[in-house]
């Protein structure tokens, strides 16, 4: 697994045929070349030139798909066309533009994204990717299933091994999230063993390290169980959460968001959005 540096990003293949572009701010984009086109999953958050990196890896026409509308996954979306997003998140992005202004300057306007929905299949020649809905972190969060590589690109829908953020604006209530995850589980159980590739790959830690926490099918079960404990009012050890300095999100009031843990899952949530 040889790694190289370019444009303040680290680039390598976690699976043969799949390029991971890890930017210096912790966001992960994935480039998968097919026979006719290449698919880019998410458009990063780094300071470097993402298109320059992509062009160094493939000469094929590039299709951009986004797992959701947050700026740390879409900052360089304007460098690529066509670009796709779930219509639920297109609507959220449009509302943000119309009411509060774009939280992440540089992201192209909502109406420049084409819609993708659950069940859609993106064919790039010899490889295809099925869109799987996983609403919760955002109203339009999606995953992309690559049966050829036995990989599932999960964005932020079920965390990346670090914190799962359900306190962000427009996140669904936990009970709705659980309903969607239960549907997701039934869907994924039809697919067998998969490698889960998250939107912040490095949050899982290094294989072999004591804190290594990769996302797996069991992660979803732990999320569901944690949400149910919170919804049932079970006593849990919780700590207050606050955004770091420079966050694109508004500061939270004391106790407005809490951190809860179960198994390998650490989730931030709002007690008023359960």
Question: What phi and psi values does residue 138 have, to the nearest 5 degrees?
Answer: -135, 165
Quick one: pLDDT at residue 97?
Answer: 86
Closest CA to 132 of 188, 57, 212: 188
Tell whether omega for the bond before 82 is within 30 degrees of 0, i.e. cis.
yes
Instruction: Please compute Rg for the chain using Cα positions.
Output: 18
Quick one: pLDDT at residue 101?
Answer: 64
| pLDDT tens per residue across span 7-36 | 999 999 999 999 999 999 999 999 999 999
CATH no. of 4-269:
3.60.15.10
| pLDDT tens per residue across span 223-266 | 999 999 999 999 898 999 988 866 777 777 777 999 999 999 99
Quick one: pLDDT at residue 96?
Answer: 86
- Three-state SS letters, the chain: CCCEEECCEEEEEEECCEEEEEECCCCEEEEEECCCCEEEECCCCCCCCHHHHHHHHCCCCEEEECCCCCHHHHCCHHHCCCEEECHHHHHHHHHHHHHCCCCCCCCCCHHHCEECCCCCEEECCCCEEEEEECCCCCCCCEEEEECCCCEEEEECCCCCCCEEECCCCCCCCHHHHHHHHHHHHHHHCCCCCCEEEECCHHHHCCCCCCCCCCCCHHHHHHHHHHHHHHHCCCCCCEEECCCCCCCCCCCCCCCCCEEEEECCEEEEECCCCC
Quick one: pLDDT at residue 255?
Answer: 78
Residues 137/68, Cβ–Cβ less than 8 Å? yes
How far is the C-alpha of 15 from the C-alpha of 247, rounded, in Å? 32
pLDDT along the chain (274 residues), means of 10: 92 98 96 99 95 98 98 95 98 87 75 97 98 99 99 98 95 99 97 97 92 96 98 93 78 85 95 96
Residues 9/24, Cβ–Cβ less than 8 Å? yes
CB burial of residue 130 (10 Å; 0-12, 13-18, 19+): middle
């Amino acid at each position: 697994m040889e790694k190289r540096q370019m444009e303040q990003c680290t680039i390598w293949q976690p699976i043969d045929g799949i390029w991971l572009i890890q930017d210096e701010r912790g966001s992960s984009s994935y480039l998968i070349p097919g026979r006719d086109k290449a698919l880019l999953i998410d458009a990063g958050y780094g300071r470097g030139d993402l298109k320059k990196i992509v062009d160094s890896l493939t000469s094929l026409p590039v299709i951009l798909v986004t797992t959701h509308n947050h700026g740390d996954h879409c900052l360089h979306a304007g460098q690529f066309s066509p670009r796709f997003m779930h219509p639920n998140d297109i609507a959220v992005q449009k509302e943000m533009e119309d009411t509060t202004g774009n939280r992440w300057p540089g992201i192209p306007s909502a109406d420049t994204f084409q819609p993708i929905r659950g069940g859609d299949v993106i064919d790039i020649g010899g490889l295809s990717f099925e869109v799987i809905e996983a609403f919760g972190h955002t109203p339009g969060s999606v995953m992309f299933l690559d049966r050829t590589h036995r990989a599932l690109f999960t964005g932020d829908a079920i965390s990346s091994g670090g914190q799962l953020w359900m306190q962000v604006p427009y996140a669904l209530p936990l009970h709705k999230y659980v309903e969607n995850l239960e549907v997701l589980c039934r869907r994924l159980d039809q697919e067998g063993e998969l490698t889960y590739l998250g939107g912040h790959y490095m949050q899982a830690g290094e294989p072999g390290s004591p804190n290594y926490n990769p996302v797996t099918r069991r992660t979803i079960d732990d999320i569901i169980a944690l949400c149910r404990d919170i919804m049932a009012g079970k006593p849990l050890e919780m700590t207050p959460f606050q955004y770091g300095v420079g966050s694109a999100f508004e500061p939270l009031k004391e106790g407005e968001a809490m951190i809860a843990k179960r198994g390998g899952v650490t989730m931030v949530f709002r007690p008023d959005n359960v």
